[in-house]
């Protein structure tokens, strides 16, 4: 499953290729509370069809009405972007469903060859981060290598946004737990890869939208070279499969590296990686083990939920509890395997 940005770009390109006029809408700035953050994308075609969102729905309805009344063809013929602001007054905030009097500023961009959406989409698919600068007077776009998660900038002349690769999840081990994690990760817009060289484990394992690899996990990690939009989770309990892959992942740019197992096994893993593979303690601090947030989970589906919650928190830059707080919390819980699997580690 594609992430929302990729879906918006691909759909807008498809509409344009079919001859439909298309307007790309970008959330440029927000004040106060807002339903969607700056950088969010939406596209509207000449039939009033939409993909993506910039609010909870009310602003979309108004945009569709505005574009229909003004004519998408006429808007696209000018190639000139427009800036709209919603929620300036309390009445407007209430009308458009903006919480706490929030204000949203949008840029409406008629899509043309000047928009360079095909190049932008290709860069995203190739996992390249891109800085996109739209000239508000001409509608022309400049693309440059850039960071993935920059905050959009809007001035009188330009809108600058940042786009890049979708979040990616690499799981080591094909089984019930990875199956549930795949379902959740796909629904969250992750690119998902499952790696298991054991033929008996992957023989009947398949899922639409998931890449299944039979490489040795460390070979896969070295080949893919996890970037800052990649999470790696080891699920096999087998040191022969997990350890080397974890070592390579911990020395990559991956935003999350985790492994399941009891607290005792996780401690043994850390000691093994440090003693036998000379992995520095500072590097081991990034290992989430046992992987997952403590939610009292017992079934594979619940364990998958706890791990995916921790992965998403790390992706979104949420700080984790202090080691002291986590240790105190752990002491209150029984140490069954299922509970230990979901106990949060303290490394950050």
Question: How much is the average pLDDT of 278-307?
Answer: 93
Using CA atoms, how far apart are residues 186 and 33, in angstroms rounded to an integer? Answer: 28
Range 285-305 average pLDDT: 94
Task: Give Cα separations from 341 to 115, 231, 262, 345 (angstroms).
Answer: 47, 17, 6, 10
200 band by pLDDT with thresholds 50, 70 and 90: confident
Beta strands 168-172 and 191-195, pairing class: parallel
Indicate if the pLDDT at residue 179 is higher than 70: yes
pLDDT at 5: 86
pLDDT above 60: residue 337? no
Cis peptide before 76 (omega within 30 of 0): no
Q: Phi and psi at residue 307, in whole multiples of 5°?
A: -70, -45
List % helix, strand, coil for the chain (3-state, nearest 5). Answer: 40, 20, 40
Provide the mean pLDDT of the chain.
84
Q: How far is it, in rounded angstroms, from Cα 108 to Cα 87?
A: 17
Query: What CA–CA distance (Å, rounded) separates 113 from 160?
Result: 18
Token code pair at residue 48: 């009033």
Question: CA torsion 179→266→238→241, rounded to 10°?
Answer: 80
- Which CATH fold would you assign to the domain 168-342? Rossmann fold (3.40.50)
Angle separating helix axes 176-187 and 300-315, nearest 10 degrees: 40
Intervals of CATH 3.40.50.720 along the chain: 168-342
Q: What is the pLDDT of residues 207-233, one digit of tens each?
A: 999 999 999 999 999 999 999 999 999
Task: Note the pTM of the prediction, 2 decimals.
Answer: 0.74
The tens digit of pLDDT for each residue in 149-178 reads 678 999 999 999 998 888 999 999 999 999
DSSP secondary structure of 76-139: HHH---EEEEE-SSHHHHHHTT-GGG-EEEEEEEE-SGGG-HHHHHHHHHTT--EEEEEETTT-
Q: How far apart are CA 61 and CA 8, in angstroms?
A: 17
Residues 127 and 165 sit within 8 Å (Cβ to Cβ): yes
Helices marked H in 142-175: none
Q: Where is average pLDDT lowest: 5-14, 16-25, 196-205?
A: 196-205
Residue 58, classed as helix, strand or coil, is helix
> Which residues, in sequence order, are CB contacts of 184 under 8 Å at separation 6+?
304, 305, 308
């Amino acid at each position: 499953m594609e992430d929302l940005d990729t879906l918006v770009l691909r759909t807008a390109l498809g509409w344009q290729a079919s001859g439909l006029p298309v307007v790309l809408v970008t959330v440029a700035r927000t004040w106060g509370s807002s339903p969607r953050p700056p950088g969010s994308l939406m596209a509207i075609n000449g039939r009033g069809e939409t993909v993506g969102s910039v609010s909870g729905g009310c602003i979309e309805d108004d945009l569709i009405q505005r574009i229909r009344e003004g004519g998408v063809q006429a808007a696209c013929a000018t190639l000139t972007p427009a800036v709209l602001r919603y929620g300036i007054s309390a009445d407007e905030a209430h009308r458009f469903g903006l919480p706490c009097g929030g204000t949203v500023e949008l840029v409406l961009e008629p899509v043309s060859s000047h928009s360079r959406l095909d190049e932008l989409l290709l860069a995203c698919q190739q996992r390249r981060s891109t800085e996109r600068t739209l000239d508000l007077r001409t509608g022309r776009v400049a693309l440059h290598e850039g960071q993935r998660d920059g905050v959009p900038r809007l001035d009188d002349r330009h809108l600058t946004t940042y786009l890049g690769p979708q979040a990616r999840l690499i799981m080591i081990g094909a089984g019930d737990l990875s199956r549930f994690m795949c379902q959740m990760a796909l629904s969250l817009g992750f690119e998902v890869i499952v790696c298991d060289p054991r033929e008996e484990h992957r023989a009947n394992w398949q899922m639409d939208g998931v890449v299944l690899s039979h490489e040795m996990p460390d070979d896969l990690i070295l080949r893919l070279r996890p970037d800052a939009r990649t999470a790696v989770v080891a699920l096999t309990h087998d040191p022969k499969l997990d350890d080397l892959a974890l070592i390579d992942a911990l020395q990559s740019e991956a935003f999350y590296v985790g492994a399941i197992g009891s607290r005792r096994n996780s401690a043994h893993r850390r000691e093994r990686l440090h003693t036998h593979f000379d992995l520095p303690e500072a590097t081991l601090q990034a290992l989430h083990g046992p992987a997952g947030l403590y939610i009292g989970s017992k079934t594979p589906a619940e364990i998958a939920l706890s791990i995916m919650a921790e992965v998403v928190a790390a992706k979104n830059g949420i700080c984790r509890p202090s080691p002291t707080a986590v240790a105190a919390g752990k002491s209150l819980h029984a140490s069954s395997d299922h509970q230990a699997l979901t106990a949060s580690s303290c490394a950050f």
